[in-house]
Every structure is written in structure tokens, then in C-alpha cells.
Structure 1
Amino acid sequence: MQLPAGFRAHTANVGIKDDTTDFAVIAAERPCSAAAVFTRSRFSGPSVTLSRGHAGDGRLQAVVVVSKNANVATGPDGDADALELVEGVAHALGCEPTDVLVASTGVIGRRYPMDRIRQHLASMPAPRSTDADAVAEAIMTTDTHPKTARATLATSTGGEASVVGIAKGVGMIEPDMATMLAFVLTDAEVDAAVLDRTFRAVVERTFNALSVDTDTSTSDTAAVLASGLAGPVDDADLEVALHEVCLDLTRQLAADGEGAETLVVVTVDEARDHAQAKRVAKAIVNSPLVKTAVHGADPNWGRIAMAVGKCSDDADIDQRAVTIRIGGRELYPKPASEADLDALVEHLEGDEVTIHVSLGVAPGGDGASATVYGCDLTDGYVRINADYTT
């Protein structure tokens, strides 16, 4: 997949991990309109704190990513390392350090191997590649494959603009204003304030609707840069294209959750408001009992009822008004026959399982809804994380 006009990339191995690329730079020809959201973890790393300030003025020209090393909980030395990395990339590209966003992902508590990074920056060639997939591969940690997505939209001058997304992250994912690492690039011409407002709305419905294991990362970063080379676009059309790309990436990330074999999509409707719908949907998709039932192709809808019921602060949820469905088949309150349950096994054995709960708090067309994305829980998840640093 090709990067949009105005962007080039450089990937390399700087020695953090011997057998794969672990360093990536995305650079624009000129400063771009930009927006970004970050984790709210109280243990966020220097990459997050530094980049939050750099993205605050709505302008970025480059992104640098170090993978397989988070540089989190490394104290003042880690702060200095992140700043030196940004300054080195800026010097190599000929741009301002404050126009460089830095992101890191990997093991917590280890500093960057700065001697190797310095050596690479001293001879780093100008970014020339337009291969988005190479960038996606370079930023992976435990992902099993690179993740990219693309959409197009018309410009006001009759041309075409593209939106390309690159993401990684299949574990430590329960987003809080962002999730994993995601970089969305477009050649559309967009005002920075519009881009920020639109991107935040899209993130809320996509990346923030994703959960693999309920654990919020210390390094979550999602950013969008617009080079403007394709020309101006309609704001509504841009939101549609951004949503298409980010939703595609969200589904890819959920399906590739650590050890995952099944994508789980949960929709809750007839809720009091969107917040309630999303809260209940997250309770379902995050339940270890629901996730293991999906993994075992066990149509145990009682576990879904349990997950709804544990939202005990939502006093307006009445079990007598709730409807539970798996694969579009109603299982409660209409009694599920043995034939119904047997028919569900085929759906549960597929690559994607859908769960639909109507709360009945605001029935009909007056209620709010939310859809969230997750995965099953397998012994593979336990194995990956039991041996993560060893």
C-alpha cells in the first residue's frame, strides 16, 4: 500500500531486535496540519509526554517510532533519550524538533540503546520509500502481521485525496483516549482545528471501542497528519474516510489480539445514552467468561447476562426488558431451545462472532447504541504474556 502524496518513509534495524526492522520514520515534505490523542496512563512514557507538547499546536512534519522498547519508567535518563532521538531525527530531516512526534512500544523499564540509535541517525538516509506496509511491519511487537488500511475521497477541485492508516498493537489494549500506535496520513487539505475535532470523534467510535485484555498501555498514541497536496475536501467526507480507515484498523487489531482466534463484535442498543451503551458493551467484550465461551464455541448466553448485570450502577437496566442475541438469534427472554443452541455452534466456530444486546431502557428508535470490538481468550494469550521478557 502506498503512502499519500507528500509523505516518505524510512525503516531500519537499529539492533533492538536482531531479526526484524525496529525503527521507522515517516516524513512529510513540509509541515502538516496534525492532531493526536494519547494514553491517560499515570505511567505514560517520555514519548507520550514529549509528543503531547509537540502535537499541541496542530502542526507536525515527522513521526519516529522505536519498537520492541517502550522507554517507559526510565526516569530522567529516559526523558533525555527521547529528546535526543527527536532532535537527531529533526537534524537528519532538516525540520524543527517540535515538529517531530515520537512513539515507542515494547518492554517497559528499559532505556533505548542510544549508542546504536546515535550511530544510525548519523548516517540515516533521507526517507524515500512510499511503502506503508514496510512501516507497519517495522512498528510491530507481538503482532502476527502488519496492519494498514486505505480510503479515498473527492476533493473540491474534482480530484481525489487518499487516507492511509498504519497501526500496531495486539496486547495491553483497553484504550483511554487512544490505543496502541496508529498513524493516519492524508494528502487532503484540512484546517488543523477541523482535523483535531474530526479525528477525536472518529477515535471515540473506533480505536476507543477496542479492547483485547482490559489493560491500558503506557504508550498509546494515535495521530493524523494532512499534507494538503491533493487539495481541500468536504469536512463530512473526510470524517467518513477517516472512520472507514480507523474502523478497518480497529477490526484488524481486535482479530489479531494476542493468541486470538476469533473477532468478537458486541452491539448494545436501546440504551439511555451512548455512554451507557458503550459501558455495557465493554463489560461484555471484556468478560473473561464471555471470551472463553466464544473460544470454546459454547453458546452460554448466561455469561452475557452476567456481564450486563454487573453494570450495577446502571439502576435503570431491568432484566425483564433486556434481549440477548448471538449471531442474530434471540436467546433471552425467549427461551432458547436445544436446537437453537446447537445451531449457534457453527456461528461461534467462525472467524467473527456477533453479540447483540437490547437493554430496553429506551426502546424503539429513541435509544442510543454502541458497537465495540474484541477477541476471544485463548491459552495462546497466557503463553505469550507469561514469557514476554524471557
Structure 2
Amino acid sequence: MKYPKGFYSFGRNIGIKDHTLDFSVIYADKVCNSAAVFTRNNFPGAPIIVGREHISNGLLQAIVINSKNANVATGEMGIQNAKDICTTLAKSLGIDPKNVLPSSTGVIGVPLPIEKLLEACKTAKEYLKEGNLEVVAEAIMTTDTRKKISYREIQYGTQTGVIYGIAKGAGMIEPNMATMLSYIMSDFLPESGDLAGILKEVVNVSYNCITIDSDTSTSDTVVLMCSGYAGTIPDSLFIENLKSIAIDLSKKIARDGEGATKLLECTIQEARDESQATKIGKSILNSPLVKTAIYGADPNWGRFVMAIGKVFDEPIPYEQLQIYLGGIAVKGADKVTKDKLAAYLKSEEEIFIQVSLGAGNVSKTFWSCDLTEGYIKENAYYTT
């Protein structure tokens, strides 16, 4: 496995909730050009509040992450805890606390076991290993069933570098600026140095295009850190690879939705503009009726008509609307077509939905998963 140069990390258990990995650090041996995007939820977690301040100058050297507790709705104490974690880790690593970004994920409304976290921060340096990012991918998991990793090795002239991304997320997913948690490290720098602009562009066609349950997390964070050890590459090449990684991670999140059995990919075509495509794409994939029909292989195509039509401010003439599932035209389907559709929904683990609006020339793709009894079981007893 290839890693970007200059990055060290670890994941370990410190007993926040159980015996699985729950604490991790990503450290760069130099201050990195960095960018981040965060949740737009009106009640952001304490780490988001502190993280926004620390990333404001576009520089980072470390990320400290705990799972099993989100440090959300914990008031001033939660904010102070996040700051103390950054200060204590920075002292251990010999870096500026302002160059540390905190992240937390897990249950909301429960105070952090701060003493455990501060003790872990004090000894962080001794656990760091070069690369090792797949362990962090495991340590940030909560209800995830698998690690989410994607990386690209890039050759440019005589230079070889790596962009390496990890993510977590399986529930409370309807991003509006980011996903649950995702961290992307690179030893290449884009020539323009505009990491904030590039990250925003990439997030808009990847993380912001997934939904599992329509709930925007209080902890959504995407961070990009570039060490620059491999030199610079054209923005276009950097964006191409970053976008590929981000879409790959987004699909992994959607596929791993709580209780999910199928990955759904919905492409909206012939939209008037991006806003219209997004509203209608999310309306389809956020519909419990659409998602349960796909789970049950029920060829009830009327649910798609409903989901499109309920976007009241974007009316589409019914005559110009076209809906396809797996290439099967379903609007007005007869029994033979319904049988084909049912067979397709039953046999495939990836369901491709295509909707043509006939309103313009904009296309955009979104990802989600079906809705099953497993989602209810996971969330009905989440804290018990």
C-alpha cells in the first residue's frame, strides 16, 4: 500500500466505550497547506467550532480523532475539552496547538471522558508510525461495517506522489457541505495552491451527493492536507484524482448505509440547472417509499413520480418526464415491464436510476442505499 510522504499515524483503544479502536492521530512532520469543509447543521459539535478556527489560516500539522462520542450539545465544557485536547496533543508532538484539528464522532449529548483523552494525547508521539492510515480508517468507525479507504498513485514527469483518503459514515448522512468524517492526505500540491476552492469543488460532486437517511450530522468534516514533498502538479490533474477518491469514498459510505443491501445510483439528466438536479435527485433518494420498494423488489414506479412531483418549486411537465431503472423505461409500465423491473431489483446489488427532466442540459449523479429492517434495528437501540 502506498502512502503520501511525510505523514504518520496510529489508532488505538483508550476505553471510551468498548474494546474496539476509538482514538487516532494523523501527524505530518511539517506544517501542511490544508483546507476543510464542515457541517452546516445549526448545532455543530465542539470540534467543529474549534476546527473552523484552527483551519482558518489554511495550515495544519495534525488531526486528533475520537469515535464513540461526538462531543456535541456539550456546551462551553465541550468546547474547552476540544481545545484542551489540541493543546495536550500539540505539547506531546512539539507543534503549535493552532495547527491541530480535532474531530469526534459518536453519540450526541454525552460529555467526553476527557481524562482518558488527555492521557492518550500525552503519549501520542510514541505510537506514531509512518503511513499506517488504514488503522485510522478502522479507529474512526462507529456503526460502519467496514473500513473506507481510497488512494491514487500519480506519476507526473519524474515525480511520483500519492493522494490517500479515508472516511467513515453509515447513518445520519445527508451532507450539506461534507460527509460524516473524511481525511485526505497528499504529498502533491496543486500548482495554484487553492486547496479551499478545489476541495469545495470536489465535495460538491461527491460527498454532497450522498444521502442515507436525510439527516445532516452535527459533526460532518472533510479535511485535505498536502505536505508538498512530491512537488506540484497541475490543478486539473490534482482535481481529477481527488475527485475520483472522493466519489469512491462517497459510494463506499452509501453502500455501507445502516442495514443496507443495495447501492443506489441516481443520475438526473436534462435538468435546468444544478439546483434543480440536486433537489430532485435528493428527493428521490430520500424517499422512504422509493427506498423500501427497491429493497423489496417492488416494481412500484409510481413512487418515483411521487418523489419527483413533491418538489413543488421545480414542476416538470409529466409528458416530458422519463424514468429508467437499469435501463428499463418504467413510466406507464405494463405487466411484462413490471416483471422485468422486479427481476432487476431482486437480482442486482447496484441499482441504477436515470431520470430525464427535459428542462435543460445539466446532469448530476447521486448515491444512496435501500431502506431495510436493519436500519430500524440499528437506530431504535443506538444508545441502549
Query: TM-score by structure 2 length?
Result: 0.97
Distance 1:99 1:312 in 2: 45
Whether contact under 8 Å (2:144, 2:168) holds in the other structure is yes
2:288 paired residue number: 288
Whether contact under 8 Å (1:144, 1:256) holds in the other structure is yes
Which residue identity lines up with residue 81 of structure 1 in the other structure? N
1:114 Cα deviation from its structure 2 partner: 1.3
| Correspondence 1:341 to 2:335 | no
SS of the aligned residue for 1:69 comes to coil
Moved more, 7-16 or 251-260: 7-16
What are the Cα deviations for residues 100-126 of structure 1, in whole angstroms up to 9, with x where unaligned? 111100000111111212222233315
Distance 1:118 1:162 in 2: 32
1:371 paired residue number: 365
1:200 paired residue number: 200
Ranges in structure 2 where 5+ consecutive residues have no aligned partner? none
2:166 paired residue number: 166
Whether contact under 8 Å (1:86, 1:101) holds in the other structure is yes
Whether contact under 8 Å (1:33, 1:192) holds in the other structure is no
What pairs up with 1:253-292 in 2 under 5 angstroms? 253-292=253-292
| Correspondence 1:319 to 2:318 | yes
2:153 paired residue number: 152
SS of the aligned residue for 1:120 comes to helix
SS of the aligned residue for 1:107 comes to coil
What pairs up with 1:73-152 in 2 under 5 angstroms? 73-124=73-124, 125=126, 127-152=128-153
Which residue identity lines up with residue 183 of structure 1 in the other structure? Y
1:191 Cα deviation from its structure 2 partner: 5.9
2:308 paired residue number: 308
Which residue identity lines up with residue 265 of structure 1 in the other structure? E
Cα distance 1:38–1:184, how it changes in 2: closer, same or farther (>3 A)? same
What are the Cα deviations for residues 122-146 of structure 1, in whole angstroms up to 9, with x where unaligned? 3331511422221100000000011
Distance 1:58 1:309 in 2: 43
Which residue identity lines up with residue 386 of structure 1 in the other structure? A
1:326 Cα deviation from its structure 2 partner: 0.6
2:26 paired residue number: 26
Which residue identity lines up with residue 155 of structure 2 in the other structure? A
1:31 Cα deviation from its structure 2 partner: 0.5
Length, aligned pairs only:
382
SS of the aligned residue for 2:172 comes to coil
Distance 2:34 2:344 in 1: 42
Which residue identity lines up with residue 254 of structure 2 in the other structure? A
Whether contact under 8 Å (1:34, 1:192) holds in the other structure is no
Whether contact under 8 Å (2:175, 2:220) holds in the other structure is yes
Whether contact under 8 Å (2:46, 2:78) holds in the other structure is yes
SS of the aligned residue for 1:340 comes to helix
1:9 paired residue number: 9
Pairing partner for 2:381 from 353, 366, 387: 387
What are the Cα deviations for residues 282-303 of structure 1, in whole angstroms up to 9, with x where unaligned? 1001000000001001121110
Moved more, 145-154 or 213-222: 145-154
Whether contact under 8 Å (1:322, 1:360) holds in the other structure is yes
Cα distance 1:143–1:15, how it changes in 2: closer, same or farther (>3 A)? same
Ranges in structure 1 where 5+ consecutive residues have no aligned partner? none
1:234 Cα deviation from its structure 2 partner: 1.0
Distance 1:53 1:249 in 2: 26
1:299 paired residue number: 299
CA RMSD of aligned residues (A): 1.3
What are the Cα deviations for residues 240-283 of structure 1, in whole angstroms up to 9, with x where unaligned? 00011000000000000011110011111111101101110110
Which residue identity lines up with residue 360 of structure 1 in the other structure? G
Pairing partner for 1:360 from 358, 368, 371: 358
Deviating beyond 4 angstroms after TM superposition, the runs of 4 or more aligned structure 1 residues are: none
What pairs up with 1:39-50 in 2 under 5 angstroms? 39-50=39-50
What are the Cα deviations for residues 288-337 of structure 1, in whole angstroms up to 9, with x where unaligned? 0000001001121110010000011113x1111100111111112xx423
What are the Cα deviations for residues 169-202 of structure 1, in whole angstroms up to 9, with x where unaligned? 1100111111100001111023685211111100
SS of the aligned residue for 1:106 comes to coil
1:160 Cα deviation from its structure 2 partner: 1.6
Whether contact under 8 Å (2:184, 2:224) holds in the other structure is yes
SS of the aligned residue for 2:339 comes to helix
